[in-house]
Structure 1
């Protein structure tokens, strides 16, 4: 067998390898054994390619992209267009709140639990990271202003995944 795709950049960068193994562990914990998940495995494969090509600057946004798209594949991703609380349209120029319920407009109260305030710029970045095509995602210049928020947002998506199973 010839190895045509060794993903060498991930294997030589410790943080990238840890991130890939974390995602692999999450898949193995949450997907039923012997249950076909071709769409998820294809998504994981292409996410590893972005990880190899994008490097450390994209770790947290790429994790958001991986988790959001996984949730989207299974119909559970937070909607960027509609408030999960009241159904109003979300404005790209207004702040919002990310919770385990989804994305809430400023008028809706959040229940107890994890939440992340989403200034309009950060909400736009989350949306871009989730839906941009691969090449555009690699080229996008995400601000470095929200490192803690990215990590908290990723924890919320992982929590939604874990509650789903």
Structure 2
């Protein structure tokens, strides 16, 4: 019975692989005044693989949404150079270790965003820049998740 449990646990491990990744999140901006505030650290990005599928999940920076909004994106795992993922709040195109995400219908609590930005800003100028960035994001919700390693594993082929 112990052998059967060990085999089942090992088999499940081969079918499901989950790991937490360090990452950063970037709001694209062409405004040099906003650029210093456009990057956010992310400590717990989950990447799951199972049976040819891939899932990435993370929490958007609360400086952009006001409250914790969990993003879950699913798609087919690929050994190629391009992944397409989609979820309730948008879709992503991933290349290497970077995913550009185009959001839709994000729940944004503007009052909570303003309160959070007041907490983290050290000056009125910084607050205004962060506020403008968050409003730009709300109007055009696009972001880039930069993972600490590529999503793709090298393909090993047996050349006989």
Larger Rg: 2
TM-score by length of 1: 0.22
TM-score by length of 2: 0.23
Structure with greater strand share of residues: 2
Structure with greater helix share of residues: 1
